[in-house]
Amino acid sequence: MTTMWISTRRLACALGLVMAGPSTAAEPWTLERVLAEAAAMQPDSVALQALSRGAALDAAAARSLPPPMWRAGVANLPVTGGEAFDLNADDMTMRMFGIEQAWPSRALREANAGMREAQARMWEAEAAMQSRMRQERAGMAWIEAWIATRRIDLHEAQIELLQQAEAAAVAAAAEGADVADALEWQAMRAMHELEHAREQQDLAQARADLGALLGVTIEDFAAELPQWPLPDAALLRRSLGQLPELGRVDAEAAEAQSELAMRKAESRPQWEWMLSYGERMPGMSDMASLEVRVSFDALFGTRQSQLEAAALARIDAAEARHAAQERRFLGEIEAALAAYANARAAMQVIEQRLRPLREQQLALAEARYAQGSGELMPVFEARRQRQELELERLMTLEAEWRARLQLRRLDASHHQGATP
């Protein structure tokens, strides 16, 4: 006895109408809406932007002199004998009050501020990188869900068709036809049921991925794909330097440059001064003192040269990373352009050659059966092949849109969250 296949989508719709009654459906999620939501300030972007603002504030503070140090104490206080700890017993005892100020050079302060500013740019570039990657992942998940939804429909249609073919083959076998035909149709139906279950799992996974990325639950997807122009290949190559990944490497190089400037500034004298006032016992003159301290790191030439060499090495490393990243992104652009071109070429073959041939084969099989000169099984086979072609078309469409989304991420001229 053949088990009848009932479309889960139709069953769900029927149950929904009976149980829920009239309701207002939520607006379907388009790909543009998903990308805009992914470009919005998600928690990871908020954290990175906060770090960037903090580093910028640190840079502003680094340009100022450090706050002065207030000093208070007692000098020349007796600690033994009968006058121990008596502030008025010895004429050399003084109550000391003073102020101390470090006075690093402007070059040192500017270099320190430059390092903080470079760190702010690094965090900002990291936020842009996270946003672009999140948009690509969300777009991929939306495409996977959109494709899986349509594959589920096609598999359900195939299963219903194969049930009919199987029933016809069983009836023919009862009249003496080869029973192997019925078994073949049954095996094909089982394979499509397996693929149907896998597509259901893929759809659930894509929805879960979107929920994790956007923080919302997406149930319905727009019926149509957006119309996007393909980014200009020459423009993509020329604007590589504006990508946030390369901007982050440039910020690392700027940080190392500022570190080198700071090391050089440290080799020059850095000043500190201290002014203090000493109050002595009544009848004795009070005293004031002024001290100036100067650092001479240049006297320790080996240490200073090692620090400068380390900063130079970091500059070289950042420049090498920039070149490597640029080559990698050029490779990604070329690969994505090739994948897109291959998918479009395959789609043209499907649309212009294979689909008309499948339609002609089906029309011929149906005409022969209607005229009595053909059998029913070729009609089922022609219908099955036509639906298999639609599954192949969806695979090609998915490859095309994966390439489109990758090119969108690599398009430095594209504004985050905007529709291409």
User: Cα separation of 114 and 119, whole Å?
Assistant: 9
For 93-119, write each residue's pLDDT tens digit: 888 999 999 888 899 899 999 999 999
Burial of 405 (0-12, 13-18, 19+ CB in 10 A): buried
Round to the nearest angstrom and report the end-to-end CA distance of the chain. Answer: 54
Residue 302 resides in a domain: yes
Residue 238 resides in a domain: yes
DSSP reduced 3-state for 279: strand
User: Cα separation of 288 and 275, whole Å?
Assistant: 8
Question: Where do we find the tokens 């080559």?
Answer: 327
- C-alpha angle with apex 210: 337 to 419, nearest 5 degrees? 50
Q: What is the pLDDT along the chain (420 residues), one digit of tens a residue?
A: 344 444 444 434 433 333 334 333 468 899 999 998 888 867 888 888 898 999 999 999 988 989 899 989 998 888 888 788 888 878 888 889 999 998 888 998 999 999 999 999 999 999 989 989 999 999 999 999 999 999 999 889 888 888 888 888 888 888 777 778 788 888 888 988 998 999 999 999 999 998 888 888 888 888 888 888 877 888 888 888 889 999 999 999 999 999 899 888 888 888 898 999 988 888 888 889 999 988 876 556 677 788 888 889 999 999 999 999 999 999 999 999 999 999 999 999 999 999 999 999 989 988 988 888 877 788 888 888 998 899 999 999 999 999 999 999 998 876 443 434
For 130-143, write each residue's pLDDT tens digit: 989 999 999 999 99
Q: Which residues 6+ apart lie within 8 Å of 186 measured at CB?
A: 162, 166
- pLDDT on residue 360: 93
Residue 185 resides in a domain: yes
- pLDDT on residue 336: 93
The tally of domains found in the chain comes to: 1
Task: Give yes or no for a contact between 9 and 200, defined as CB atoms under 8 angstroms apart.
Answer: no
User: Cα separation of 214 and 219, whole Å?
Assistant: 13
- pLDDT on residue 419: 38
CA 318, chain centre distance (Å): 22
| Share of the chain residues as helix, strand and coil, in percent rounded to the nearest 5 | 70, 10, 25
Residue 192 resides in a domain: yes
Task: Give yes or no for a contact between 411 and 329, defined as CB atoms under 8 angstroms apart.
Answer: no
**DSSP codes, 292-306:** EEEE-GGGSHHHHHH
Q: Which residues 6+ apart lie within 8 Å of 279 measured at CB?
A: 94, 95, 96, 97, 286
Residue 310 sits in a domain whose CATH number is 1.20.1600.10
DSSP state of 4: P
- pLDDT on residue 116: 93
Residue 71 resides in a domain: yes
Residue 417 resides in a domain: no
Q: Which residues 6+ apart lie within 8 Å of 321 measured at CB?
A: 249, 252
Give backbone dihedrals phi and psi of 225, rounded to 5 degrees, phi first. Answer: -80, 150
State both tokens at 261.
Answer: 């400037």
Give the residue among 233, 229, 38, 237 at the shortest CA–CA distance from 140: 38
User: Cα separation of 364 and 379, whole Å?
Assistant: 9
**Domain range spanning residue 127?**
28-409
Task: Give yes or no for a contact between 263 and 304, defined as CB atoms under 8 angstroms apart.
Answer: yes
Residue 113 resides in a domain: yes
State both tokens at 255.
Answer: 């940080």
- pLDDT on residue 18: 36
DSSP state of 14: H
Residue 172 resides in a domain: yes
